[in-house]
């Protein structure tokens, strides 16, 4: 069974036919990224992913990372692809060329990531974290700090992390206990312990640059008193050369359910009293900096979860076409009837169709969030810029929370389609499911994403992003209603989006009322309902484009693909939106049982 990772036809459809990404090249910022260039980038990413990175997925999972004699080693098979990541300048695809980025649209970088991350996302985490840490320095660092660290990071010569989580301060960042004391030379002495640090120590690069959250002596309690610091593993001299090792020590590597190829470390800072760092940005403004990075980080996690789902789906489709078992349902009573590929069995088709619609809808949503970012970058006035930035903010908890929830469900179906073979390590399905699971937890659990959607994003800017999103959906509805075969899916989506508007108003009001706890107990179901409606929108949008192509006489080789898009919209709006309507009825009741029940009544 050949490895596909992602469906190139679908990637191209979303990029060029749905998002029309090449139109960005009309603006000076993205002038060089015409269709030919975009296709070349995606093709190169695919080649690197399939030929060099994917072969490390299983081996890296089995070998894992090791801590011995104070040294952390990654799987040996990671060394060559990391050199190729550096050579191809894949770490900072959408960033400023002045600092070593490629300056490409984020939408295009996401399409490349579709392949790279899908090939082995435990490996690609080293690049993703480095990009995120570098982005913090680019946004908040001084010119001197950028010169000292940034080019090396964006080139992949040095890597980066994010030191946030502590044993007593996980999601509650304000409870962190790491301290910073200012020294006479302008540096700070850092003391504390951090846990769950992805890529916290390893042997892929000669230095690791740690952005660290800590509290300066005398700073206010809670998140208001948190500052951000640059703490290198090995001290970097003023001329850019490497000095002595800093007092940053790996004290352990976590034994995890998945992503074994990534070194998830516990780090001790200043255990010998000699850990130094530089303030990054302003004192007590560390959380503000983190929130700027958080949107991008959470969108990356959505892509990570999705990459597992799309690979699992492609594997399942190929397997179902090849696996011969059982007679066709219409020939069950004929003992002479031949066995058929399992893709001909209705229940397997149900599972594949479920996987298909979510994978297609999630790809479109992830790329759309990237396109909103790109449009914000080239917006000609503040009003337009605000619109696209508001949509990114609103969609981020859905991209992170909803997408990773559904990606895990897709991976679950992917195991099921393989049957017993899906449960054994000979095939990739079980690893994809294991690797996918963490995406629902890190960078803010999906419960936190739901609370963010309800508590912050819903009322942001007096609700303008929500209204902008509704406006985008209604444009798609108008487009779809021009086609007879899309009348019914369009009507179902219109009914659902109107109902969602009512639910959103009700939830927003409830969150500001004495029923606030009840409302937040339904924050996750609300995020789920929002995600379902967004999926239906994305699928109807795709179907409207496909219907237009079919009506204009599509090329023969594209007909089956376009018909599949129409069927996807039909299936999702018929099989899932009615359930969504029921969810919204339940949300409107905001039953208080969960928050009113005595704790002892939970048992245990």
The answer to whether residues 170 and 145 belong to one domain is no
Write the CATH number for 580. 1.20.140
Q: Residue range 215-222: average pLDDT?
A: 90
Mean pLDDT, residues 174-197 taken together: 92
Domain presence at residue 315:
no
Q: For residue range 452-492, what is the model confidence (pLDDT) as tens digits?
A: 999 999 999 999 999 999 999 999 999 999 999 999 999 99
Q: How far is CA 230 from CA 201, 282, 293, 360, 503, in A?
A: 16, 12, 15, 40, 44
Assigned token pair, 362: 């999630």
Mapping DSSP to helix (H, G, I), strand (E, B) and coil, where does residue 50 land? helix
Same domain, 56 and 99: yes
Active site residues: 443
DSSP-derived secondary structure letter, 219: P
- Asked whether 513 and 456 are in contact (CB, 8 A), the reply is no
Domain final position from 265, 284, 303: 284
Q: How far from chain centre, in Å, is Cα 337? A: 46
Q: Specify the pairing of strand 71-73 against strand 234-236.
A: unpaired
In a domain, 507, yes or no: yes
Q: Are residues 510 and 551 both part of a single domain?
A: yes
Assess whether 142 and 53 both reside in one domain: yes
For residue 405, the Cα-to-chain-centroid distance in whole angstroms is 11
- Does residue 2 surpass a pLDDT of 60? no
End-to-end CA distance of the chain: 47
Q: What is the pLDDT of residues 105-140, one digit of tens each?
A: 999 999 999 999 999 999 999 999 999 999 999 999
When pLDDT is averaged across residues 217-235 and rounded to a whole number, the result is: 93
pLDDT in tens, 543-578: 999 999 999 988 999 999 999 999 999 999 999 999
| Residue 586 DSSP SS3 | helix
Joined together, the tokens standing for residue 220 give 């206010």
Q: Look up the domain containing 218 and give its range.
A: 160-284
Asked, for residue 392, whether it belongs to a domain, the answer is no
Residues facing 213 on adjacent strands: 228
Residues 74 and 200 in one domain: no
Task: Output the six-digit token pair for 138.
Answer: 């680019």
Question: Tell me, what's the pLDDT at 222?
Answer: 85
Pairing state between β 226-232 and 234-236: unpaired
Alpha-carbon radius of gyration of the chain: 25
pTM above 0.85, yes or no: yes
CATH of the domain at 24: 1.10.540.10
My answer on whether 74 and 176 are in the same domain is no
Asked if residue 546 belongs to a domain, the reply is yes
Residues 28 and 147 both lie in one domain: yes
- Let me know if residue 440 belongs to a domain: no
Q: Is the pLDDT confidence value at 526 over 90?
A: yes
**Shared-domain flag, residues 217 and 262:** yes
Residue 53 inside a domain? The answer is: yes
Q: For residues 595 and 517, is the Cβ–Cβ distance under 8 A? A: yes
Q: Tell me the per-residue pLDDT of 332-381, one tens digit each, with 9 for 90 and over.
A: 899 999 999 999 999 999 999 999 999 999 999 999 999 999 999 999 99
Residues 35 and 121 occupy one common structural domain = yes
Please tell me the total count of domains within the chain.
3
Q: Answer yes or no: is 363 within a domain.
A: no
Q: Are residues 170 and 125 in the same domain?
A: no
What is the CB-side half-sphere exposure of residue 469 using CA atoms within 13 A? 31
Report the C-alpha gap between 95 and 105 in whole angstroms.
9
53-65, pLDDT tens digit by residue? Answer: 999 999 999 999 9
Q: Look at residue 1 in the predicted model and tell me its pLDDT.
A: 46
Domain boundary among the residues 245, 264, 284 is at 284
At 303-316, the pLDDT tens digits run: 999 999 999 999 99
Q: Which of 115, 138, 154 is the last residue of a domain?
A: 154
Both 16 and 98 in a single domain?
yes
What share of the chain in percent tops pLDDT 90?
91
Q: Does 172 lie in the same domain as 150?
A: no
Rounded to the nearest 5°, which phi and psi values hold at 244? -85, 155
Average pLDDT, the chain: 95
Residue 432 within any structural domain of the chain: no
For residue 172, the model assigns a pLDDT of 66
Q: What is the pLDDT of residue 502?
A: 96
What's the CATH number where 217 sits? 2.40.110.20
Assign 291 a pLDDT band (cuts: 50, 70, 90): confident
């Amino acid at each position: 069974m050949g490895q596909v990772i992602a469906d190139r036809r679908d990637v191209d459809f979303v990029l060029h036919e749905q998002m029309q990404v090449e139109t960005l090249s009309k603006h000076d910022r993205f002038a060089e990224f015409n269709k030919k260039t975009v296709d070349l980038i995606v093709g190169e990413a695919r080649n690197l992913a399939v030929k060099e990175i994917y072969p490390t997925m299983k081996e890296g999972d089995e070998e894992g990372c090791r801590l011995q004699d104070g040294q952390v080693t990654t799987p040996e098979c990671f060394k060559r692809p990391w050199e190729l990541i550096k050579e191809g300048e894949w770490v900072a695809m959408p960033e400023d060329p002045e600092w070593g980025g490629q300056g490409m649209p984020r939408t295009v970088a996401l399409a490349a990531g579709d392949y790279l991350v899908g090939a082995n996302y435990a490996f690609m985490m080293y690049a993703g974290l480095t990009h995120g840490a570098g982005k913090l320095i680019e946004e908040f660092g001084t010119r001197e700090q950028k010169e000292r660290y940034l080019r090396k990071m964006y080139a992949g010569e040095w890597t980066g992390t994010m030191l946030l989580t502590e044993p007593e301060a996980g999601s509650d960042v304000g409870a962190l206990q790491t301290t910073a004391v200012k020294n006479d030379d302008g540096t700070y002495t850092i003391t504390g312990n951090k846990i769950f640090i992805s890529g916290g120590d390893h042997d892929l690069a000669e230095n690791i640059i740690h952005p660290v959250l800590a509290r300066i002596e005398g700073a206010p309690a809670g998140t208001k008193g948190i500052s951000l610091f640059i703490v290198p593993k090995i001290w970097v001299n003023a001329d850019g050369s490497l000095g002595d090792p800093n007092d940053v020590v790996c004290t352990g590597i976590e034994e995890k359910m998945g992503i074994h190829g990534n070194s998830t470390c516990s780090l001790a800072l200043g255990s010998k009293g000699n850990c130094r760092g530089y303030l990054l940005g302003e004192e007590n403004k560390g959380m503000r900096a983190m929130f700027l990075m958080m949107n991008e980080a959470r969108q990356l996690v959505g892509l990570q979860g999705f990459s597992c789902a799309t690979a699992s789906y492609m594997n399942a489709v190929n397997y179902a076409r090849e696996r011969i078992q059982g007679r066709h349902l219409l020939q069950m009573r004929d003992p002479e009837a031949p066995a058929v590929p399992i893709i001909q069995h209705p229940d397997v088709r149900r599972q594949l169709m479920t996987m298909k619609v979510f994978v297609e809808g999630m790809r479109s949503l992830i790329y759309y969030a990237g396109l909103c970012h790109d449009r914000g970058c080239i917006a000609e006035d503040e009003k337009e810029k605000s619109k696209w930035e508001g949509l990114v903010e609103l969609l981020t908890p859905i991209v992170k929370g909803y997408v990773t929830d559904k990606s895990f469900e897709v991976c679950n179906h992917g195991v099921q389609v393989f049957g017993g073979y899906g449960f054994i390590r000979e095939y990739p399905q079980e690893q994809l499911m294991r690797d996918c699971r963490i995406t629902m937890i890190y960078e803010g659990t999906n419960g936190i994403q739901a609370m963010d959607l309800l508590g912050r994003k819903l009322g942001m800017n007096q609700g303008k992003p929500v209204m902008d999103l509704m406006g985008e959906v209604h444009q798609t509805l108008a487009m779809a209603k021009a086609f007879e075969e899309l009348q019914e899916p369009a009507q179902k989506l219109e009914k659902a989006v109107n109902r969602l508007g009512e639910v959103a108003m009700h939830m927003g009001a409830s969150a500001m009322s004495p029923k606030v706890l009840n409302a937040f107990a339904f924050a996750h179901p609300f995020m789920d309902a929002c995600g379902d409606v967004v999926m239906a929108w994305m699928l109807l949008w795709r179907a409207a484009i496909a219907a237009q192509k079919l009506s204009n006489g599509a090329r023969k080789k594209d007909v089956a693909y376009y018909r599949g898009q129409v069927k996807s919209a039909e299936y999702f709006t018929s099989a899932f939106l009615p359930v969504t309507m029921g969810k919204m009825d339940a949300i409107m009741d905001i039953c208080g049982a969960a928050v009113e029940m005595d704790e002892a009544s939970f048992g245990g």
